[in-house]
Amino acid sequence: MADNVEIRVSTPGDLPAIEMLYRDAFPNEDLLPLVRDLLHDTPMTMSLVGTSG
């Protein structure tokens, strides 16, 4: 387990990893269109990512 975890606002470069996470977490659901809409087309959506270093 990582000792240092950084929480930050996601960037467009995080989208492939976010999409992979949703596909892995919900393999029987088609959530990617919703995720993309929320991340791109909803101005009040905030997406955070956690990284370890």
pLDDT at res. 44: 63
pLDDT of residue 53: 66
pLDDT for the residue numbered 22? 87
pLDDT value, residue 27: 92
Domain boundaries in the chain?
11-48
10-22 per-position pLDDT tens digit: 888 888 888 898 8
Separation in Å, CA 25 to CA 16, 19, 31, 41, 50: 14, 10, 10, 23, 16
Q: How far apart are CA 53 and CA 49, in angstroms?
A: 13
Extract the residue ranges of the chain whose pLDDT is less than 50: none
SS3 content of the chain, % helix, strand, coil (to 5): 45, 20, 40
**Can you give the pLDDT at residue 28?**
94
> What number of CA atoms fall less than 13 Å from residue 7's CA on the CB side?
3
